[in-house]
């Protein structure tokens, strides 16, 4: 597994917990709005951080941190992710994973072996638009499988969508809500153009606060909890 970066302290990445965030390198998607191109495009990879250094740091913070967030890139593309998380678990931390759901079998392994306590899964678009939105050859059935697995995991979880106005219509958002029907939590994230994989997306826009309020009102008819941030 390759760690492309880390954040030693966060109050916002693991709901209700004080955490550290570890960013893995590598992802099979190429979302144009991705704000971490240095974790996605091999030519932009920065020097990696050693696993030993990270584990030593976490060992020294056992009493200050509640949980560790494994983010990316896409963590589940790494076959040695379970070993890495096992070592974190041995230190007594809760583990949250941020995933795009593209590797359902690897996600299933983590859930079945009690290696994750919280799953945050990105939903990029309605299923039929996935290939176009992720610029990848993803099998949409894999996304569907991951959604059902997360919903039935018994874990705390959230689904979330970064909303770029040009990419997702109000109808698209409702279609996503229908796919997530019965889920515990769905979060719409306003797209903020800080850094993007496709530079054209630095000019992209999102919806107004009032429009987001309206989307959430409608989506609440499909999921238990829906809010935007």
Using CB under 6 A as the binding rule, the residues of this chain from 74 to 133 that contact ligand SF4 are 74, 100
Q: How far is the CB of 94 from ligand SF4 (least distance, A)?
A: 22
Given strand 185-190, what is the order of strands in its sheet? Answer: 3-10, 19-24, 67-71, 94-99, 118-122, 156-163, 185-190, 225-228
Question: Which residues in the 26-65 window bind ligand SF4 by CB under 6 A?
Answer: 27, 29-31, 34, 36, 40
CB of 1 to ligand SF4, least distance (A): 15
CA-closest candidate to residue 23, choices 2, 53, 45: 2
Q: By CB under 6 A, name the one of 67, 72, 126, 177 that touches ligand SF4.
A: 72
For ligand SF4, the closer CB: 31 or 54: 31
- Within residues 179-218, the interface with ligand SF4 by CB under 6 A covers none
- In whole angstroms, give the CA distance from residue 169 to residue 15: 28
Q: Please say which residue, 65 or 73, places its beta carbon nearer to ligand SF4.
A: 73
Q: CB under 6 A: which stretch of 70-78, 85-93, 138-146, 211-219 binds ligand SF4?
A: 70-78
Minimum distance between the CB of residue 202 and ligand SF4, rounded to whole angstroms? 15
Q: Report the residue number, 136 or 153, with the smaller CB distance to ligand SF4.
A: 136
Q: Dihedral through CA 99, CA 79, CA 118, CA 56, nearest 10? A: -120
- At which residue do the structure tokens 């939903």 appear? 123
206: left (phi over 0), alpha (psi -120 to 50) or beta: beta
The residue among 61 and 195 lying less far from ligand SF4, judged by its C-beta, is 195
Report residue 129 as tokens: 């638009």
Which residues of the shown chain bind ligand SF4 in the complex (CB under 6 A)?
A: 27, 29-31, 34, 36, 40, 72-74, 100
């Amino acid at each position: 597994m390759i760690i492309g970066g880390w954040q030693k302290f966060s109050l916002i990445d693991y709901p209700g917990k004080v955490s550290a965030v570890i960013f893995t390198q590598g992802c099979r998607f190429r979302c144009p709005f991705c704000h971490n191109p240095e974790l996605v495009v091999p030519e932009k990879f920065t020097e990696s951080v050693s696993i030993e250094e990270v584990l030593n740091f976490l060992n020294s913070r056992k009493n200050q941190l509640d949980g560790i967030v494994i983010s990316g890139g896409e963590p589940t593309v790494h076959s040695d992710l379970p070993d890495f998380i096992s070592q974190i678990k041995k230190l007594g931390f809760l583990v949250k994973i941020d995933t795009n759901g593209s590797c359902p079998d690897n996600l299933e392994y983590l859930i079945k072996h009690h290696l994750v306590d919280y799953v945050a899964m990105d939903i990029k678009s309605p299923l039929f638009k996935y290939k176009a939105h992720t610029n990848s050859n993803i099998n949409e059935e894999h996304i569907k499988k991951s959604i059902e697995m997360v919903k039935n995991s018994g874990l705390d979880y959230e689904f979330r969508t970064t909303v770029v106005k040009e990419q997702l219509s109000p109808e698209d958002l409702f279609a996503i809500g229908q796919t997530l029907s019965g889920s515990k939590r769905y979060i719409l994230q306003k797209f903020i153009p800080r850094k993007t994989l496709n530079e054209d997306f630095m000019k992209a826009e999102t919806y107004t606060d009032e429009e987001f309020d309206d989307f959430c009102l409608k989506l609440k008819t499909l999921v238990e909890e829906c809010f935007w941030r």
